A = this chain, B = another copy of it.
């Protein structure tokens, strides 16, 4: 059974791995499942054929015979439930790992998205310079709390899980801002995620699509 995901034909980040297909690629690499990628242009993303797969006109989507999913959280959870390697088998530990997925997407990512919006959509507005520090402080509040919880642990709840995959993916969006470096244990946490062979394979695959360069080796 073939798994097919969609990705930007040309990612706005030029292959830095910040587009959300990287999260799904990473999950599939962690569980060792091959997949195919169908690139979608910005124009096609807003057309009926793609909207039938993804009502919000985004990427990635996930197709596996007659199942169509969107939302990286749902796709990664589906992969984690279907294949071994991303969720603990013990019932309570499994629920806690899923909790961290939701925490990444609904508590940590929203202020990070707001910071991106402030830069990308409002960077030329008269209020931009004065407002940006307020938005950055909202991100810092979350990072401080997350940093306190992580402490000197390697991962958020024992072994690496889909919760860490999602949290690292969300935090990676902050690298250019410098905010991550204010919390050394979070910077190390993200680096541990990036050092995983599965992440590297996912990163290289999305970069190859975006730069047209062949994979190394």
Contact = CB atoms under 8 A, between A and B. Distances in A.
Given A110-B110, A127-B125, A127-B127, A69 B105 contact: no
Interface of A: 51, 55-58, 66-74, 77-78, 92, 95-96, 98-99, 101-103, 105-107, 109-110, 113-114, 117, 121-122, 125-127, 130-131, 134, 138, 142, 145-146, 148-149
Contact of A145 (B56, B105, B149): B56
A58 B148 CA distance: 15
B95 A73 contact: no
A114 B131 CA distance: 13
Contacts of A114: 110, 114, 117
Contacts of A110: 109-110, 113-114
Nearest to A77: B98
Contacts of A92: 66-67
Nearest to A71: B102
Contacts of A149: 51, 55
Contacts of A127: 125-127, 130-131
Given A56-B103, A67-B95, A106-B106, 20 more contacts: A51-B145, A55-B103, A56-B142, A56-B146, A57-B145, A69-B95, A69-B96, A69-B99, A72-B106, A74-B98, A74-B102, A77-B102, A78-B95, A109-B110, A110-B110, A110-B113, A114-B114, A121-B134, A125-B130, A126-B127
Contacts of A109: 106, 110
